[in-house]
Chains A and B, each alone.
Chain A
Amino acid sequence: MSVRSLPLLFLNLGGEMLYILDQRLRAQNIPADKARKVMNDIITTMFNKKFLEELFKPQELYSRKALRAIYDRLAHCSIMRLNQASMDKLYDLMTMAFKYQVLLCPRPKDVLLVTFNHLDSIKDFIRDSPAIMNQVDETFRQVIEVYGCLSAGEFHLIRQTLLIFFQDMHIRVSIFLKDKIQNSNGRFVLPISGPVPWGTEVPGLIRMFNDKGEEVKRVEFKHGGQYVRAQSEGSFDLYGDRVLTLGTNIYSVSRPVETHVSGASKNSALNTKESTAPNSLAKEELNFLARLMGGMEINKNSGPEPGFRLNLFTTDEEEEHAALTRPEELSYQVINIQAAQDQQRNEELSRIMGEFEVHDQPQQSTSKGDDLLAMMDEL
């Protein structure tokens, strides 16, 4: 509903993706220079000016399936490759992590602090590359400019829109189960103790006034939780203590990232209209993808560096097993443009892609429309 949720969704999911990839690159002992190249390439692509211009335009939030295509493209913009099963797992982890962060934000506005935590960490990843750092700082300023003056009501709408996006996802994540922030039924643990949000009073007091506005009676009641006052508000500036830890990096080399893909719950039959067409996207979602990916400058000539495959699982056998046993309703097989049937759609896509021809890219000899379609067929 809110037409301002996409940038926040994209930046936070991107941030989570980078945390997970960083952890896996180290766990798999990928040479440091290759790992750094991958991280730099992904961050450069994520913060590409033209791409962000498209992203920040007011627009509806599209489905999880549509958005996954963007991250698939992003994950493959460098010398790294991921198999379908690993990409599925990566996307599951990213989305469940951000779902948790949005749900647990004390105030709807605090989703900005979560975003800033991600951006602060991204800046740390590329601290040795001033050119990319510049792009990230620019985006940071744009986020502050666009969201800094929104009202509490508008943040409530953004939060509701994001929660609708995450609505039917209940994938269990091992690291969340271990840390006791998720239950075995897939739902998150909501604490009823700790500091109240900044600007909220600790519950437990009833004050009664007369017609003149004078307080005449004061009664306390037992509200059931164990809350305390908030100590301080996080910083919404370019630099500062965010106070909130949601959105900081919870992964480290010693804590492997596993997911249980549980589709066997009795309530897994999804009733949304979306799910009745699992192998296609609405026309407007395809248009959205074309616009956004049109702005993504993927550097095809990645130099003499040989590529490598990253595995999100501990062994190749595990990855294979995961691919075979993924429940049908959690399948991300989304983009399936059959050239014969969707000739008209393909032409439209090519036309749209053509509008985004970037003129200072002489090495792009093929048309972007063909690239997009070719890439989609590979997914």
Chain B
Amino acid sequence: MYRREPPVSMRAWPAALYNNLCVLSVPAPRLTQFALVHGPNVQLLSAASDGLPLFQRQLHAKEGAGLSFPLVTQAYWCVLPFRVLLVLTSQRGIQMYESDGSVMVYWHALDSGDAPPAQALFARGIAASGHYICVGTWSGRVLVFDVPAKGPNIVLSEELDEHRVPITDIAAEPAQGQDCVADMVTADDSGLLCVWKSGPEFKLLTRISGFGTPCPSVRLWQGTVAAGYGDGQIRIFEASSGALHVQINAHARGICALDLAPEAGKLLSGAEDSFVHIWKLSRNPDSGCIEVEHCHAECVTDTQVCGARFCDPRGSSFAVTGYDLAEILRYSCV
């Protein structure tokens, strides 16, 4: 169903972090941009379909007192109504750039506050919800930034304090209709999921308890939450009620990345067991419950997958990064 395309070579190896790949499609000319984290810096690459990298840039985590080489935890393109910003989270704070990484438009330093001495400090988990950018932190606090249509006047508008342990991932979806269909989901190291409605004041809609294992990656689609866990399971919940609809024994090691192709309802999961799986989500017309079908299994030989993304909204192609792999692997539908 999917075949290998020419990979994109890189000059560095990705770090073994969660969600370590972000993809931005540039329609004209037909290019795909990739961003991934390699320790203290972020690699930005553009490639056409033949895989030859056309543009490469490196961004560094902003330094500060105490740490000469602060590590970056995540890089993510936030697609907002009027602009696209590239957001980097690190051990020091949050950096926001123009989408090509050329200019930094905003910097927010992390507040170490009342952190206990053995606590690692970092920001992690990035999503765009409407004209807000939400970023997670080590304490579980989620920072909500209000982003104007242009210019650097980005303001921290709210802090969401529902989680108690480090945030792992945040996902958002455009608001649907009047009846409060969920907009955003936040996940943390304990596996707790919180579903929110975005707005000038974010409102907590549902809490879905964890069960002792982190939830490194989460996605939201048409009122369903798809979550990948550190024990290799994927669980799919009804966002409004928190009811569990599907439980998949998907991988033999921890899941590191999930992605969704919204136009087709396809879900992509990548894990440290070196497998990438594609699933099809649908709603049963009679019961209204979510159902899942397995579509495709891909073994990325001898590679612990650390990032996986669809390259287009229909899910006809996807890209994968792995620890110790100096290439971005690409696959597309035959």
- Contact A201 B118, CB 8 Å, known A163-B323, A211-B243: no
- Contact A1 B120, CB 8 Å, known A160-B15, A203-B251: yes
B231 neighbours in A (Cβ, 8 Å): 197, 199-201
Q: How large is the interface on B (under 10, 10 to 19, 20 to 34, 35 or more residues)?
A: 35 or more
B287 neighbours in A (Cβ, 8 Å): 210-211, 216
CB distance from B10 to the nearest CB of A (A): 8
Cα–Cα distance between A168 and B41 once the two chains are bound (Å): 14
Residues of chain B in range 235-257 having any CB-CB distance to chain A below 8 Å: 238, 241, 243-254
B189 touches A154 (CB 8 A): yes
Interface flag for A205 (CB, 8 Å): yes
CB distance from B193 to the nearest CB of A (A): 14
B190 neighbours in A (Cβ, 8 Å): 151, 153
B289 touches A206 (CB 8 A): no
- Across the interface, B297 reaches (CB within 8 A) one of A3, A153, A222, A284, namely A222
- Across the interface, B11 reaches (CB within 8 A) one of A108, A211, A267, namely A267
Cα–Cα distance between A203 and B38 once the two chains are bound (Å): 30
A-B contacts besides A187-B302, A205-B249, A284-B68, 14 pairs, CB < 8 Å: A58-B119, A103-B323, A108-B254, A151-B212, A164-B15, A168-B12, A192-B275, A201-B231, A206-B246, A206-B293, A211-B241, A216-B289, A225-B299, A272-B38
Q: Mark B38-56, 1 if CB is under 8 A from A, else 0.
A: 1111010000000000000
A residues neighboring B (CB under 8 Å): 1-4, 58, 60, 103, 106, 108, 151-154, 156-157, 159-160, 163-164, 167-168, 170, 183, 187-190, 192, 196-197, 199-211, 213, 216-217, 219, 221-225, 227, 267, 269-274, 282-284
A157 neighbours in B (Cβ, 8 Å): 120, 166, 189
B39 neighbours in A (Cβ, 8 Å): 164, 167, 272
A283 neighbours in B (Cβ, 8 Å): 68
Residues of chain B in range 129-158 having any CB-CB distance to chain A below 8 Å: none
A3 neighbours in B (Cβ, 8 Å): 118-120
Q: List 10 A-B contacts (CB under 8 A).
A: A1-B73, A3-B118, A167-B324, A188-B324, A192-B274, A196-B252, A199-B231, A201-B231, A205-B248, A205-B249
Interface flag for B99 (CB, 8 Å): no
Cα–Cα distance between A152 and B168 once the two chains are bound (Å): 13
Closest 6 CB pairs of A and B: A153-B189, A221-B294, A163-B16, A201-B249, A58-B118, A282-B68
Interface flag for B69 (CB, 8 Å): yes
Cα–Cα distance between A274 and B251 once the two chains are bound (Å): 36
A208 touches B245 (CB 8 A): yes
Give the residue name and chain of the A residue nearest to B236 (CB): A208
Cα–Cα distance between A221 and B232 once the two chains are bound (Å): 15
CB distance from B260 to the nearest CB of A (A): 17
Give the residue name and chain of the B residue nearest to A265 (CB): B326
Interface flag for B183 (CB, 8 Å): no
Cα–Cα distance between A213 and B244 once the two chains are bound (Å): 7
B289 touches A2 (CB 8 A): no
B residues neighboring A (CB under 8 Å): 9-13, 15-17, 38-41, 43, 58, 60, 66-69, 71, 73, 91, 117-120, 122, 165-166, 168, 188-190, 212-214, 216, 230-233, 238, 241, 243-254, 273-275, 277, 287, 289-294, 297, 299, 301-304, 323-326
A160 touches B17 (CB 8 A): yes
B291 neighbours in A (Cβ, 8 Å): 208, 217
A203 touches B11 (CB 8 A): no
B294 touches A167 (CB 8 A): no
- Contact A160 B274, CB 8 Å, known A190-B304, A211-B241: no
Give the residue name and chain of the B residue nearest to A227 (CB): B252
A106 neighbours in B (Cβ, 8 Å): 253
B118 neighbours in A (Cβ, 8 Å): 3-4, 58
CB distance from B1 to the nearest CB of A (A): 13
Cα–Cα distance between A224 and B41 once the two chains are bound (Å): 34
B244 touches A160 (CB 8 A): no
